[in-house]
Amino acid sequence: MRIGLLGGSFNPAHAGHRHIAALALKRLRLDQVWLLVSPGNPLKPRRGMAPLVERMAGARAIADGRRIIATSIEQALNTRFTVDTMHRLRQRFPRAGFVWIMGADILEQLPKWRRWMAMTRRLSFAVLPRPTYNHRALTGQAARRMRSDRRPSREAPLLPGTAPGWVFLATRQSPLSATAIRAALQGSVP
């Protein structure tokens, strides 16, 4: 199985997440994309975070249950950090080829993640553009440190199950963001 992992808070899940998952299925030639709904992101405040059950319901609403799967497996694995989640997923699914799917905003903040350099040596990445983040992400610390592992986008289908390696997939950018959606629901500007 070739599996793309799209992790996040999904607070709330939205059409932009669905767009990224569908694009990853096609461009990376994946069998499935798992929407990994985090029980608690260590880099985000708890204040304003909807309960996991609500965020899972939102992720299920944008998933199709067959090729795009919403899961709270991190809760079952009792992990909060991606490096630990990946270790446990590889133990549980040793024949699966995984690739992490992230937006340019996440690439920019990757150096804040626990043991991020170790993670990038053991896991491949597909990075998708995000408005206002692309330049900073592609010239930032993580991109510079992983420069020799970057591959042309035409090699994206080679990523699942191989590491190190990453691609930047130029595509139409979704202006949607969970932060903006929450702000609109609360009647304020993000």
Going by pLDDT thresholds of 50, 70 and 90, the confidence category of residue 17 is very high
Task: Average the pLDDT over 90-105 and give the result.
Answer: 96
Is the pTM above the cut of 0.85? Answer: yes
Q: What percent of the chain has pLDDT over 90?
A: 81
Q: Is it the case that residue 190 has pLDDT exceeding 90?
A: no
Dihedral (CA of 184, 18, 71, 84) sign: negative
Q: What is the pLDDT of residues 129-142, one digit of tens each?
A: 988 899 999 999 99
Cβ atoms < 10 Å from Cβ of 113 = 17
Q: Pick the residue with more confidence: 70 or 45?
A: 70
Domain positions in the chain are 2-186
Confidence class of residue 177 from pLDDT cuts 50, 70 and 90?
low
Distance CA 99, CA 151 (A): 14
Tens-digit pLDDT profile for residues 37-51: 999 888 787 888 999
pLDDT score, position 82: 94
**Which positions ≥6 away from 45 have C-beta within 8 Å?**
none
For residues 183 and 11, which has the higher predicted lDDT (pLDDT)? Answer: 11
Average pLDDT, integer, range 5-16? 94
For domain 2-186, give the CATH superfamily. Answer: HUPs (3.40.50.620)
